[in-house]
Chains A and B, each alone.
Chain A
Amino acid sequence: MTESILTVAGLNASIEGQQVVEDVSFEMLPVGVTALLGRNGVGKTSTLRAIMGLIERSGEVTIAGERVDREPTHRIVQRGVGYVPEDREVFASLTVNENLRLAERDSTPNRQLIEELFPDLIARAGQLAGTLSGGQQQMVSLARALVNDNRVLLVDEPTKGLAPLIVMDVAKALERAAQTVPVLLVEQNLQVVRMLADKAIVLEGGRVVYDGSAEELLGNEALTKELLGVA
């Protein structure tokens, strides 16, 4: 049996006293892409933020067998968790290069991988990140996570609001990244999920209602419609 890279057990989270994640438990494969799916507002983003320690939470979170749920966010990241937030959250007043430098956790960053995946960013190294297009900002956000050697990558809606052509670029970059690091992906675009995900976890009302093969879920139109509201 393959040991999971990320285990979540009985995770609860709240924002300003309002419970947004309720007793969520799942395991994540140590390879490839695991998709975290669900209708709008079911707690997907909150689950990622709770794993990262960015919101108040309880329950167990284990990375490669080590409990991290009592640790502050920066320690969780230092243990090898890369995080690409929803809405990108690049530092608008810093240049592309400064955004990357800030993210580098050691003296041997994966600049070669960044150059390979996002050659456009290298050309725009001195440009303020706030002046980039949405797609380019997403590249910066992904590059910040990929510039370090991580054990797992949490990626939140990377194609949200992007043009179809850019969506495919982002998907290809994620596909390439997933060859070196397992990815937990929150994504609304089922075409991207079909292309990338091996496993799917579906949340409803803050709880897990499906945990299995992504192919089987998306191959079953009735189940997909029932759980995700789309086919």
Chain B
Amino acid sequence: MSTIILLLITGLGLGALYFLVASGLSLIYGLMGVLNFAHGSFLTLGAFAGWELSRRMGGESWGTLIASMLLGMVVGAAVAAATEFLLIRRLYNRHIEQVLVTVGLALATVALFEGIWGTDPIYVTAPPWLSQTTEILGARVPNDRFLMIGAAVLVLLGIVAFLRYTRFGLIIRAGVENRSMVTALGIDVRKAFTVVFAIGGAAAGLGGVLASHYFGYVSPQLGGSLLIFAFIVTVIGGLGSLAGAAIASVVVAILQQFANYFWGGTGDLMVVLLLAVVLLVRPTGILGKKA
């Protein structure tokens, strides 16, 4: 029983990380039809920004951790908004070029990060509580999982509130459904594009800081490795569906944890099989809409 509890909560923690990356991917695809392969770079840069702040302030205080999370969000948002404004805006409805530019940007930024911070993993320090465990129904659960879960829930609630109660949110919800009609109501939908990129970048930047604590290190490849699973989560959840991304994040991460433990480290294989089954049975994903 304790093993099941541990795997469930650890899976939820990993799912929280997947959601922080996938939420931005899903919103960006839903509104703009852009598959952003550079999204992992926002995460990595957020993680490095958080680590840089942490090592300057002394990484063992909660104040430093919160400041590094906020900095990760700001850096992620700023770089994502700049990417949209400088590169993606010229390429709407040109999907091949979008893929080429975002893949190119992802490769170039990894090389840039390696040039600045080196290729080796850099180990991070955190408040001591995060490296301790809490006993739940006999399972000793690492405390950092609770941080991941709490942050993802807050981000989910924040994005939902933004979408539901602000005019930009209204524009984004309408734009996901019918972008040209939003324009035909006199709304400059490009501003919403930049806002969505910034929101996605902020979530990814926060995910980067949290991922560095989950894995215990930050490296130039951090974003790329999480991005693969975030894409899988986005497709399984349904492209453009935030709720779908949240559900799929949890399902994928828990499946991965259980398969790794009970079926000899086959977690990644099981996730790919789940993706194949979803694409065969329900090609639009769990909550995706038919084209």
Question: Which A residues are within 8 Å of any B CB, using their own CB?
Answer: 52, 54, 72-74, 77-78, 83, 85, 89, 91-94, 98, 101-103, 105, 144, 148
Contacts and interface: CB of A to CB of B under 8 A. Distances in A.
A98 B174 CA distance: 9
Given A54-B180, A85-B181, A91 B186 contact: no
Contact of B184 (A54, A92, A94): A54
B180 A102 contact: no
Nearest to B186: A77
Contact of A77 (B173, B174, B185): B185
A105 B173 contact: no
Contacts of A52: 184
A102 B184 contact: no
Nearest to A130: B177
B181 to A, nearest CB: 5
B170 interface: yes
Interface of B: 167, 170-171, 173-174, 177-178, 180-189
A148 B186 CA distance: 11
A74 B170 contact: no
Instruction: In the A-B complex, list the 10 residue pairs whose CB atoms are closest, starting with the nearest.
Output: A77-B186, A73-B183, A89-B181, A91-B174, A74-B188, A103-B185, A78-B186, A83-B184, A74-B183, A91-B177
Contacts of B167: 101
A92 B171 CA distance: 13
A165 B20 CA distance: 51
10 contacts: A54-B180, A74-B185, A91-B178, A92-B177, A94-B170, A98-B170, A101-B167, A102-B170, A102-B187, A103-B186
Contacts of A83: 184-185
A77 B177 contact: no
B185 A144 contact: yes
Contacts of A93: 173, 177
Given A74-B189, A93-B177, A85 B184 contact: yes
A96 B140 CA distance: 50
B27 to A, nearest CB: 15
A156 to B, nearest CB: 11
Contact of B182 (A92, A102, A148): A102
Nearest to A84: B184
Contacts of B184: 52, 54, 73, 77, 83, 85
B186 A74 contact: yes
A40 to B, nearest CB: 22
B31 to A, nearest CB: 13
Contacts of A54: 180, 183-184
Nearest to B177: A91
Nearest to B171: A102
A53 to B, nearest CB: 9
Contacts of B183: 54, 72-74, 77
A52 B185 CA distance: 11
A91 B28 CA distance: 19
A189 B290 CA distance: 32
Contacts of B180: 54, 73
Contacts of A98: 170, 174
A94 B188 contact: no
A76 B20 CA distance: 38
Given A73-B184, A91-B181, A102-B174, 15 more contacts: A54-B180, A54-B183, A54-B184, A73-B183, A74-B185, A74-B187, A77-B183, A78-B186, A94-B173, A94-B177, A98-B174, A101-B167, A101-B170, A144-B185, A148-B186
A73 B181 CA distance: 10
A2 B189 CA distance: 36
Which of B181, B183, B184, B187 has the most chain A CB atoms closer than 10 A to its own CB?
B184
